Amino acid sequence: MRVDVQGLTVRYGDVTAIDDMSFSLSGNKIYGLLGRNGSGKTSLMSVLAGYRRAIGSVQLDGEPVFENAAAMRKVCLVRHPADAADKSDKVSHVLEYGAAWRDTWDNAYALELSELFKIGLKSKVGELSLGQRSAVGAVIGLASRSPLTMLDESHLGMDTPTRYAFYDALLNDFMAHPRTIIVSTHLIEELSSLLEEVVIIDSGRLVLQEEADVLRSRGTEVVGNAADVDEFTEGLTVLSEKSLGRTKSAMVFGQLDDSGLVRARQLGLELGPIALQDLFVHLTEPVGGKR
Amino acid sequence: MKIFRHLTVALVSYGGIVGASVFLAVLAVEFGISLFGDVVFSGWMLVTVQIARWFVLWVGVYTIHNVLPIAIAHGRTRREFLGAATGFTVVFALAMTLLAWLGFLVEDGLYSLMDWRSTPHGSPLAYFLMFLVWCAVGMLVTAAFDRWGYGGVFTLPVGLALAVVPGITMPGTGDTPFVRNMPHLLGDGWHAVSLGAWVVAMAVTWAIARDLPVRLRTS
Amino acid sequence: MFDDRSPIYRQIADRIKADVLSGALKADEQVMSTNQYAAYYRINPATAAKAFQQLVDEKVLYKKRGIGMFVSTQARDMLRAQGRETFFGEVVDPMVAEARAIGIPLADVIRRIEQHENGSA
């Protein structure tokens, strides 16, 4: 499913959560929505799912989503805790809602996933542990088989084996039933190999949208003699610098051309790749201050 | 239709179970009282006007506060849900009226058998309208609180005024009219005013809930 | 499984090349499908497809429509030739630099290599 966002603004009273944001997702990919706490990820996804009215336009396959039955049928957002899992309901009850109200719901798959995550169908949602409630959310999201499925922090509280089982389920189900999946996460390193495209937002604004593999190749760590590093990075976008004695390391953002590579070799500089997670950290606002 | 069916099946059967158990409890209390003295009033009447309507109101609250977000999270629109919820108030009020009436049938038979003294109770139509309005008022006030937070407090007087309407001519409620003679002047025409109260309550609920955001549930 | 630092498709392509070079993947042998690769390595299928596309472009693999990807007949020879071109620059020169840095005379290094030649090490 294609997603088009144009001039989107979300305000809560005086607080602007999303600030005039525009982007498009061509669809049928796994997208990573990355941003720090309070960057507007949940607000953005809530608007995409028709959870709230907003200023600007949000279109799914060319149709506005808010209060549009045809578009709403194709969307599933799972936040934490899942909105479709009322605390007072039993898990079996939660799945019955999905089966009754969603045309695309695969109940056999929902039961299979519940077993995989070892969720007791007879327990009440409110009595489950944090990780198990997250797992219920993952079941709702995956079993909905919605053309646009959004999973907001669905890994919260899951232990490592459960998270990997979740990633495997996500990937395998995506391959069996290609659709647009947006996942938001703070565990970038764990999830990044699953992502085809990355959308980074900060303070309610779009920072960048890029193919994950292209983004990985856009950051370079330059290490060497401090003076040489400074000479080399002049005029380049430097995300961060660190010094140790006479050695200096700088994170450079942007593809280096061949002449750059030659010059680096002449200066005796070491060039290395930067992890997606580090790029993310330096592309968003640093802790304790404005960029 | 799916939402309507779900609401009806789930909540009518729930109401039925609650109603039946309460009825049995009332009978038990009545027998208990008869051991020590004379039974001089209808216990079921007291329950149906004083407790049942609050239960019905709570069902209205539950419908908007708990079920509406689930419906939206499962890709339904507010409009679809409110359409279903409007139909649901009618069916639920009917079911509860039926339950109340069955209770009176049994209780009346028992009272004449035991030679206990009963008290007058309202007509089925009066009960139906009371439940109808109270269910809708529960929805209205909840929609307001869910949309505006504490600001929803300002709809409480409206909800209260609407809720009082059907009870005024109903024995045992203790509800009193703002204009004392009005209900007596109108006679059975007062029922039309009650129906009007339901229409107003649903319309206001609809207006408020059409923009209702789905808030994060606090865990 | 993969480091998150350089494009994953390149890491996969390098692995397949290494398998071809070592003989683990033989000429005209079918390689796993993109989805199998994706599930096995827990990576996005588009990434796996990109690696395969690169290998097709480099003529290491060839595509049989509707069946899958196969190792091309000349792949091993081609990769060996490429490896020979870069061998001295990428393997021997750094080794010599390392030997010098830690103070091993080049004569010792040569003697060791000769032992390999004679099959005694």
Position C1 in a domain: no
Fold of A215-283: Alpha-Beta Plaits (3.30.70)
Chain B residue nearest residue A42, CA to CA = B216
On whether any CB of chain A is under 8 Å from the CB of C44, the answer is: yes
Yes or no, beta carbons of A213 and C47 under 8 Å apart: yes
Query: At A291, is the pLDDT very low, low, confident or very high (cuts 50, 70, 90)?
Result: very low
Structure token pair of residue B3: 């939402």
Contact A23, A56 (CB under 8 A): no
Which chain A residues are closer than 8 Å to C43 by Cβ?
193-194
Arithmetic mean of pLDDT, A169-193: 93
Q: How far is CA A122 from the centre of its chain?
A: 32
Provide the pLDDT for residue A278. 85
Provide the pLDDT for residue C60. 92
Contact A8, A15 (CB under 8 A): no
Closest partner CB to C43 (pick from A29, A193, A214): A193
Q: How far is CA A255 from the centre of its chain?
A: 24
Provide the mean pLDDT of chain A. 91
On whether any CB of chain A is under 8 Å from the CB of C62, the answer is: no
Query: Which of the other chains make 3 or more beta carbon contacts under 8 angstroms with chain B?
Result: A
Fold of A3-203: Rossmann fold (3.40.50)
On whether any CB of chain B is under 8 Å from the CB of A243, the answer is: no
Provide the pLDDT for residue A289. 43
What does the pLDDT look like over A231-287, one tens digit per residue?
898 888 888 888 988 899 998 988 888 888 888 888 888 888 888 888 888 888 665
Yes or no, beta carbons of B66 and A88 under 8 Å apart: yes
Are C32 and C17 found together in one domain? Answer: yes
Position C3 in a domain: no
Number of domains forming the structure of chain C: 2
Provide the pLDDT for residue B195. 93
Which chain B residues are closer than 8 Å to A140 by Cβ?
73
Closest partner CB to A101 (pick from B2, B211, B219): B2
Q: Which of C2, C3, C4 to mutate to test the interface with A (most CBs of A within 10 A)?
A: C4
Arithmetic mean of pLDDT, A34-41: 92
Distance, in Å, from the CA atom of A191 to the CA atom of A212, rounded to the nearest integer, reads: 11
Number of domains forming the structure of chain B: 1
What's the longest Cα–Cα distance across chain C? 57
Distance, in Å, from the CA atom of A273 to the CA atom of B142, rounded to the nearest integer, reads: 54
Closest CA to B148 of B137, B157, B159, B140: B140
**Domain spans in chain A, listed from the N-terminal domain onward:** 3-203, 215-283
What does the pLDDT look like over A47-66, one tens digit per residue?
999 999 999 999 999 999 99
Stated as kind and residue range, the H or E segment containing A61 is none
Q: Kindly report the nearest CA distance between residue C18 and chain A, in angstroms.
A: 21
Chain A residue nearest residue B79, CA to CA = A67
Ordered per-residue pLDDT tens for chain C, 121 residues? 555 556 788 888 998 999 999 989 988 999 989 999 899 989 999 999 999 999 999 999 999 888 889 999 999 999 999 888 888 888 888 888 889 989 999 999 999 989 988 876 5
The residue range of the domain holding C27 is 8-73
Query: Which of the other chains make 3 or more beta carbon contacts under 8 angstroms with chain A?
Result: B, C
Contact A59, A226 (CB under 8 A): no
Are C12 and C69 found together in one domain? Answer: yes
Q: Reduce the DSSP state of residue A223 to 3 states and report it.
A: strand
Which chain C residues are closer than 8 Å to A174 by Cβ?
45
Ordered per-residue pLDDT tens for chain B, 219 residues? 788 888 888 899 999 999 999 999 988 888 888 888 777 778 888 888 888 999 999 999 999 999 999 999 999 999 999 999 999 999 999 999 999 999 998 888 888 888 887 787 888 899 999 999 999 999 999 999 999 999 999 999 999 999 988 887 777 776 766 666 666 667 777 888 899 999 999 999 999 999 999 988 764
Are C86 and C52 found together in one domain? Answer: no
Chain C residue nearest residue A173, CA to CA = C39
Provide the pLDDT for residue B182. 66
Distance, in Å, from the CA atom of B204 to the CA atom of B133, rounded to the nearest integer, reads: 12
Arithmetic mean of pLDDT, A82-100: 92
The residue range of the domain holding B182 is 2-209
Distance, in Å, from the CA atom of B199 to the CA atom of B193, rounded to the nearest integer, reads: 10
Which chain C residues are closer than 8 Å to A216 by Cβ?
4-8
Range list of H helices, chain A: 41-48, 69-72, 91-101, 107-116, 130-143, 160-176, 188-191, 212-218, 226-233, 258-267, 276-283
Chain B residue nearest residue A69, CA to CA = B77
Are C81 and C111 found together in one domain? Answer: yes
Closest partner CB to B77 (pick from A72, A74, A81): A72
Closest partner CB to A83 (pick from B2, B69, B79): B69
